[in-house]
Structure 1
Amino acid sequence: MKVKLLTTISFFTYQLSISQTEKLLKGKVHSETILLKDVEVINKTAQTSTRTNDWGEFSILVKPQDSLIFFSKNYLFKRLKLSAKDIENNALIVNMAPKPEELDDVIIMTNIKAPKIIDNAYNRDEIRKIKIRKQFDDVTSRVNVYDGKINKAINYSHAIFDRPKKTIEVDQRFKKLVLASCSPAFFINDLKIKPEEKELFLDFCDADPRSKKLLDNANVLSTMDFLYAKNTEFQKLKSELKN
């Protein structure tokens, strides 16, 4: 009898503690004037989820500082960090942007030569970018284009040294997956990637063989986690090059 009583008391104590920390948040998801149904609403912090109804409405248990993710295959995913005010208002309005239309595979013809640094015309930021690209090439041991570098002081301008220019097919599938899944604000606000560093960061991620595994089973959460992990490496490498 005592065991049953203790179990009952523990259960109600647990339920009371839950009710004090979590509240039912109601909201609505739309895209401009269209109410979105079947949008997956994920509480990443609590590992719970729900979906919007035919009128774009949803309700989910949350607490302050929880991260909510809104996902639909036809729209860019949205991520919000809840504040106490959001929960108190209990009327969250979420606007999702449509995904850009995917283009057919494009073959990019590249013929890029390395820039010549003759004097101090390049500022410090441009030189840092060149150093980062060189570091990426050394780490990944990948040569994507003929960069025109000269190893020995021989005059190759003579006609006998002319070589036919090569055209290389560049695999853009990973970049297209990321750009279709992540909004520009995600790179700036979440990853703290500057707009001028975005292309360089995507090249850094694409050089990792694990990026190809994401193409076999495209998942917005897996893609986001991969970008977070690579961003840590990217920022560390930038810091080392500055020092």
Structure 2
Amino acid sequence: MTKNIVFFLVAVLSQNSWSQTQERSVINGKIISNTNDLEGVYVVNAKTEVMTTTDSSGAFSIMAKPDDILVFSSIQFKENRVLLTCEDFTNLNFTVRMSLVMHQLQEVVVRRYDNINAVALGIVPSGQKTYTEAERKLRTATALNPTANAGTMAGGSISADPLFNFFSGRTAMLKKEVEVEKKEFFMKLLEKMFSLEHFIDRLKIPAEYVKGFEYYAVENQQFTKILDSKNKTSTEFLLGELAVKYKEIIASEAK
């Protein structure tokens, strides 16, 4: 008797399980969002615990039936639960919209580490002179190399490159390049320290002559020395004196 009851229960449970499986069919869908990274989102049928994942386009396929709940979850998206209807199974464009998880920073702290530089890290020796690009070219072109050809002559010999550069005029050209570079540096420093309005309104330099006055000022070695010290008061005082002389030059040329 007991065996018959057990057999009956097993048969009933098997039939119910088979019938439930038969009721479910494959539903095809696609997730959409404000990102192109749609691959790897978990799609779980909450009723059967069957799971799948989306492909690179966000498409998925899973066994389900109406009234099943599909759970969509991923690290980059908020969890979304969708109750399936009969229409979803006949909808060829069944889509589920996913919302991105926004990670908001509470505070951003920018710290300056003035003591950390190439010298502090031991990359550049302390006290070593720094060179601009033009100065490096000139130094390379004029530096004597006493170790050149040291393998062929006792005590070595002097490289012929500096002599060649001197006679070919390359050294002179590089010196001019260094001077031009220095003037450009002082021009930028001057324009950074004083606005265009300062030259026009305060120094009374006509607008069309401001750039010419800047060139005139940086040609003065005394002025560039003070300008390089970044002492604005002294620079402004000497700049005023140069402005007076420059306006006299403009006036004399206008006659």
Q: TM-score range by the shorter chain?
A: 0.3 to 0.5
- TM-score scaled to structure 1, two decimals? 0.35
Compare CA radii of gyration and give the structure with the larger one.
2
Relative CO higher for 1 or 2, CA cutoff 8 Å, sep ≥ 6? Answer: 1
